[in-house]
Amino acid sequence: MDPDNTNAEAKRTLLSHAKTLRLHTGNLVNRTRLKKKCPCSPGEELQECIQATLSSWFSTIEAPNEDFPDALDCNIPQATDAIVPEERDELKVSACQTLAVSQLDSVIIAPRRLLGSDDQTLAPLQPTWEELEALVRSQRIAAIGTSDLDKDLLEQLYNWAQVKPSSNQVNLASCCVMPPELTAFAKEFDIQLLTHNDPTELISSATFREAMQEGTQHVSTADWRLEWLLRYSVIVKSRGIIKAMGYLFSARKAEL
């Protein structure tokens, strides 16, 4: 039997057995593959990152012959740049463990919107916000903010939360001018209004599964679902230069 084919089959079994997959793209600023091709959108960039990271990881891992784990951690160590202590004061960081820092400067959460519905409530946001509040109290995060909350929802969050939102991002695609009522509320309660141009859905379920399948040499991904997605950045404060950025995500296989 061909050893290469045997090893490839063992790797497919490894992925087929797993129930959870956690992936870290590493620092995309230093990934030469992205310098050769400029993605047209954040979604296309993310799709390409997932596919390429999985492909690199899949080609280098050693699959066990037995005792296949339920959870897999997919990362390329050489693609991740830890921050040395001497640089920390000069940088604004929005991710923690993989960059070897003890505190994030800011975390911004974007609530998942119900498909086809503009009637949003605070309930889906509250459990995550409470977790972030605990991290603020333990000094793991300096400030927490939100994305795409209108004035009513931002006011609800402000009145309910123990740790108040320090910022709220507004999508430029939805408005060219900040809504006056949102601007007035943010000014009154010292909430910084920022802008972004990300699509409402950064990556669709179908596109995610397609990127995962191509990156794993066509392992079946029909049962896999994206649980959460995090984009981080490390910015040189005095110059606004992006020193590092990347994605982390967790996916879970649906129970049969």
- Phi first, then psi, for residue 249 (nearest 5°) are -145, 165
Judgement on whether residues 205 and 78 belong to the same structural domain of the protein: yes
The answer to whether residues 123 and 161 touch, using CB atoms and an 8 Å cutoff, is no
Pairing of strands 192-196, 167-171: parallel
* Domain assignment of residue 51, yes or no: yes
Judgement on whether residues 161 and 206 belong to the same structural domain of the protein: no
pLDDT tens per residue across span 203-225:
888 899 999 888 887 778 888 99
Judgement on whether residues 205 and 183 belong to the same structural domain of the protein: no
Q: Does pLDDT of 66 surpass 50? A: yes
Collapsed DSSP state (helix, strand, coil) of residue 180: helix
Judgement on whether residues 168 and 241 belong to the same structural domain of the protein: no
| Cα angle value 111/112/118 (rounded, 5°) | 95
Residue 77 pLDDT: 64
User: Number of folded domains in the chain?
Assistant: 2
Residue 1 pLDDT: 41
| Domain span at 181 | 114-199
Judgement on whether residues 124 and 177 belong to the same structural domain of the protein: yes
Encoded amino acid at 60, one letter: T
Judgement on whether residues 187 and 221 belong to the same structural domain of the protein: no
Q: In the listed set 178, 199, 220, which residue is the last one of a domain according to the structure?
A: 199
How far apart CA 182 and CA 194 sit, in angstroms, is 12
Determine if the pTM surpasses 0.75: yes
- Mean pLDDT, residues 14-20: 85
Pick from 21, 231, 207: which is nearest to 110 by CA? 231
Judgement on whether residues 118 and 186 belong to the same structural domain of the protein: yes
Judgement on whether residues 78 and 121 belong to the same structural domain of the protein: no
Judgement on whether residues 13 and 68 belong to the same structural domain of the protein: yes
